[in-house]
Structure 1
């Protein structure tokens, strides 16, 4: 058997219908490479292992779970990486999709890591705390729209797929959950300097209630700060607006 580790944010799915629904949200193509993040006790892993003509790997930090998975699912032998997703090297050469019931305490960091690998990751299906899933999927003008929304939507089309009830888990988390799918845009926005783009978005949302002229005053020439766009608040700007402003930064 295995123990649940609160320090790793472990809440394991126990509802088989929900497990299948998550796996079915992944568009499978023959020969695709697939990484599961945080397989835990193997709730969706067992279904992923059944997908034909897919090269599968899973990354799991908890050594106890690695041993449990190897004993329970012989087909996973040689496919487990006992490391932190946040510290590992890319698990495949070439493109790979990512799926997982992401540990909620590091789910935003997981998506920042996905952005580092965006050239290699065309597809992500992930379960998050519902609030985080809604933030990622939110459009401009929405109170949930924020840093992750803009950065991810510059590269991916985001779909909020469905809610997952607390009772689908052991132990039931105190928060609601949601599953989203991120599909790489055929034509991602042309962000010439990701460092500047990220700085702009983080700075703008750092004081989201203020007109942009205040938080962004150190990033642009004084004259340019007189443009009408700087009377808006961060959540009013589209992804395209942020991309265009990046071009004008000092």
Structure 2
């Protein structure tokens, strides 16, 4: 079969190192007993080959029609489990119908958007094993107080236990990206609902990191802080100094101050 050419506008960098592909595949644990797996952006199936060896109930999604044609020829038995679609706009909650895991070499230019989609489907997505730009991977896995800690760190850590697994150098891709890559694993935690208004929690986290070097008092002033909350010592901190539970507490304080 003729090889698929990586497309720059789709952010495609095809993994060529079989050892790394196998290592990524083996990092998927089947957390919470899940057997159904969705691979995002399989390209020519380098990772897919190792996933199939592990006997997952595997689905493939790719936005690239050339890759889809190639995958249908390579894996005829997968049939309609090979899906031509954009994961960001597709209704995969309906496609998968039950809890599932996500795996893949994520396009660097949309990796953050993929994670926001995962957050939307957090009650169905039990595990994610993925490769993405190293700095983004480190940010997601970073603890509070670290310069890498940010919006995605807090939002994902609220619902997932996250591990940074290993780094990957550019030369194992075609074409080589200009950055290093990192592989991380997210496992759904036991939190079904935060102890606060979740929509407000998301707003507070995003607004809190809107200007990293400013205190929360300055970042959140547009949200209508009461005088008492304005004087609260937590407002002297910066967003990067708060962990998930501290953000939950801040969200509750904001709610309560509005209700007084």
TM normalised by structure 1 equals 0.95
Among 25, 30, 40, which residue is 1:28 paired with?
30
Structure 1 contact 34–98 (Cα < 8 Å) conserved: yes
Among 224, 237, 259, which residue is 1:232 paired with?
237
Supply the distance in 1 between the matched residues of 2:195 and 2:130 (Cα, whole angstroms).
25
Q: By how many angstroms is 1:27 displaced?
A: 0.6
1:3 aligned counterpart, secondary structure: coil
Can you list the C-alpha shifts for 1:69-110, whole angstroms capped at 9, x where unaligned?
Answer: 111222332211101000111221120000000111100000
Supply the distance in 2 between the matched residues of 1:114 and 1:206 (Cα, whole angstroms).
22
1:77 aligned counterpart, secondary structure: helix
Q: Figure out how many residues of one structure are paired with residues of the other and give that number.
A: 249
Supply the distance in 2 between the matched residues of 1:63 and 1:195 (Cα, whole angstroms).
36
Supply the distance in 1 between the matched residues of 2:246 and 2:184 (Cα, whole angstroms).
24
Supply the distance in 1 between the matched residues of 2:59 and 2:118 (Cα, whole angstroms).
16
Q: By how many angstroms is 1:46 displaced?
A: 1.4
Q: Residue 43 of structure 2 aligns with which residue?
A: 40
Among 160, 172, 175, which residue is 1:171 paired with?
175
Supply the distance in 1 between the matched residues of 2:233 and 2:51 (Cα, whole angstroms).
51
Structure-2 change in CA distance of 1:189 and 1:149 (3 Å): farther
Supply the distance in 2 between the matched residues of 1:156 and 1:145 (Cα, whole angstroms).
15
Segment of structure 1 superposing worse, 43-52 or 80-89? 43-52
Structure 1 contact 154–189 (Cα < 8 Å) conserved: no
Structure 2 contact 144–241 (Cα < 8 Å) conserved: yes
- The yes-or-no answer on 1:161 pairing with 2:165 is yes
Cα root mean square deviation, aligned:
1.4
1:143 aligned counterpart, secondary structure: coil
Q: Residue 149 of structure 2 aligns with which residue?
A: 145
Supply the distance in 1 between the matched residues of 2:49 and 2:14 (Cα, whole angstroms).
14
Structure 1 contact 31–55 (Cα < 8 Å) conserved: no
TM normalised by structure 2 equals 0.92
Among 105, 116, 119, which residue is 2:120 paired with?
116
Point out where structure 1 has 5 or more consecutive residues left out of the alignment: none
Supply the distance in 1 between the matched residues of 2:151 and 2:100 (Cα, whole angstroms).
25
- The yes-or-no answer on 1:101 pairing with 2:105 is yes
1:244 aligned counterpart, secondary structure: helix
Runs of 4+ in 1 over 6 A off after TM superposition: none
- The answer to which structure has the higher helix fraction is 2
Among 6, 9, 23, which residue is 1:4 paired with?
6
